[in-house]
Amino acid sequence: MEYNPFLPEVQANPFPYYAYLREHAPVYQVPGAGFWAVSRYDDVLFIVKNPQIFSASILISALMGDLNPWPPEVPPMVAMDPPDHTRLRKLVNRAFTPRRIASLEQHIREIAHSLLDAVPAQGTFDLVSTLSGPLPAIAIAELLGVPPERYADFKRWTNDIARCTNGVAVPPEVRPQLRQSSNELKAYLEEAIAAYRKQPGDNLLSDMVRAEEENERLSPAEVLSMAILVITAGSETTTNLISNAILSLCAHPEQFAMVRTNPALVPNLVEETLRYDAPVQFFPRLTMQEVTIAGTTLPAGTPVLAMFGSANHDERKFPDPERFDITRNTEGQLAFSFGVHYCLGAQLARLEGKIALETLLARFPYLSRTDEPLVRFESITVRGPKMLSLRSS
């Protein structure tokens, strides 16, 4: 069985391919791509636990090429290695606090209710354009201090930049629009960062401007880089978490009935969705020295894919992994990676997912899919529906 993440049939359902790789080729060279896919849980964990052997520096060139929106002097933190990553992470942690995230809960709930007010009590609607898409975008806009009158611009910018990060070819006719959105977003953020240096505000962007550790501060370019990372990593992935959860519930009515009668299971639903249908399926890494994985020796300079989506379905870690079970023990799932590159926004994603699902299921407890065919985002890395048509009763 040939695994190639660029093939539409693999993007539609990669899990049989993952199972084959784990059993027969745990370190597999993707045909014509130069990458080696690493699919077993323990091996993926070994990769993310050892940044000194597996560098994250390849990430931007592998996925974005010349559409990279980050300032050239400061790549995103997810594409940095220690010690630069360590320094930046310590400074950003000063701003991205649990208190800052927790303070958003009530307002995120209000946003969710407001978005669902547009859904008819009886009828059909698209979950992605109605709730799972706009909710994370608005929440991140507010987190960064973007005023409501700029939300439409902000959503357009984030949508366009997300198209640059999916690891698929962007049509030539679209590239100028994506570059324009990237430039407009950077110009907006640079102006806001300069303003907050003069007059601090009560938001994450201002907190990053003020963050200090051992008399060190983030430079304006570093604040800009972090803001773009928060926007790109925090929007599309959370959209897919919410959408994938509802998609899985609709495909497993017994699990839907369980959470319908016991809403306290929603946090479990979030965790099992992250394991069962991870919003990010893999991240690329580059070997910095010769290394042997599962009996295969790779020389220094070899690109590898740490396959989170496959690791989360490894039967050696999660018994009966193809079964969607919201009562399962999901401890150790790798949807948010692990170690130094553990997702900075994991707490925010979990909070938004929990609130979105609680609000949606409380108001529309008998959701079901319509006959509209499922269309997924064209992407080799992120996984979720581009549109999910539902009946509200």
pLDDT band of 297, cuts 50, 70, 90: very high
Each residue's pLDDT tens digit, 126-146:
999 999 999 999 999 999 999
Evaluate the CA torsion angle 345, 351, 356, 357 in order and state its sign: positive
Q: What is the pLDDT of residue 60?
A: 66
Q: What is the pLDDT of residue 362?
A: 96
Each residue's pLDDT tens digit, 1-52:
899 998 999 999 999 999 999 999 999 999 988 899 999 999 999 999 999 9
In a domain, 1, yes or no: no
In a domain, 3, yes or no: no
In a domain, 182, yes or no: yes
Each residue's pLDDT tens digit, 192-228:
999 999 999 999 999 999 987 777 889 999 999 999 9
Residue 283 is which amino acid?
A: F
| Of residues 324 and 375, more confidently modeled | 324
Residues of the domain holding 12: 8-391
Identify the residue whose tokens are 């529309």.
364
User: What distances in angstroms separate CA 284 from CA 79, 302, 307, 345, 390, one per listed residue?
Assistant: 10, 10, 9, 19, 34
Q: What is the pLDDT of residue 46?
A: 98
For the entire predicted model, the pTM comes to 0.94
* CB-based contact 272:324 (threshold 8 Å): yes
User: Is residue 167 predicted with pLDDT exceeding 60?
Assistant: no
Q: What is the pLDDT of residue 221?
A: 92
Q: What is the pLDDT of residue 64?
A: 64
In a domain, 2, yes or no: no
CA dihedral 316, 322, 325, 327 (to 10 degrees): 0
- Of the chain, the percentage scoring pLDDT greater than 70 comes to 97
- Of the chain, the percentage scoring pLDDT greater than 90 comes to 72
Q: What is the pLDDT of residue 186?
A: 92
Which CATH number characterizes residue 308's domain?
Answer: 1.10.630.10
State the average pLDDT for the chain: 92
Q: What is the pLDDT of residue 223?
A: 93
CA dihedral 94, 197, 205, 381 (to 10 degrees): -100
* CB-based contact 139:154 (threshold 8 Å): no
User: What distances in angstroms separate CA 213 from CA 81, 92, 100, 189, 287, one per listed residue?
Assistant: 19, 9, 18, 23, 31
In a domain, 99, yes or no: yes
Residue 234 is which amino acid?
A: G
Would you call 94 helix, strand, or coil by DSSP? coil
Q: What is the pLDDT of residue 217?
A: 87
Q: What is the pLDDT of residue 93?
A: 86
In a domain, 292, yes or no: yes
Evaluate the CA torsion angle 72, 75, 79, 82 in order and state its sign: positive
Number of domains observed in the structure of the chain: 1
Q: What is the pLDDT of residue 1?
A: 85
Closest CA to 161 of 136, 179, 145: 179
Each residue's pLDDT tens digit, 221-277:
999 999 998 888 888 889 999 999 999 999 999 999 999 999 999 999 999 999 999
| Of residues 73 and 360, more confidently modeled | 360
pLDDT, mean of residues 275-282: 96
Each residue's pLDDT tens digit, 331-384:
999 999 999 999 988 999 999 999 999 999 999 999 999 999 998 988 888 899
User: What distances in angstroms separate CA 131 from CA 125, 229, 265, 359, one per listed residue?
Assistant: 10, 22, 20, 10
pLDDT band of 61, cuts 50, 70, 90: low
> How far is residue 268's CA from residue 331's CA, in Å, rounded to a whole number?
11
User: Which residue stretches of 165-311 are H helix?
Assistant: 175-198, 204-210, 220-251, 253-261, 266-276, 308-311
* CB-based contact 368:250 (threshold 8 Å): yes
In a domain, 387, yes or no: yes
Each residue's pLDDT tens digit, 231-240:
888 888 899 9
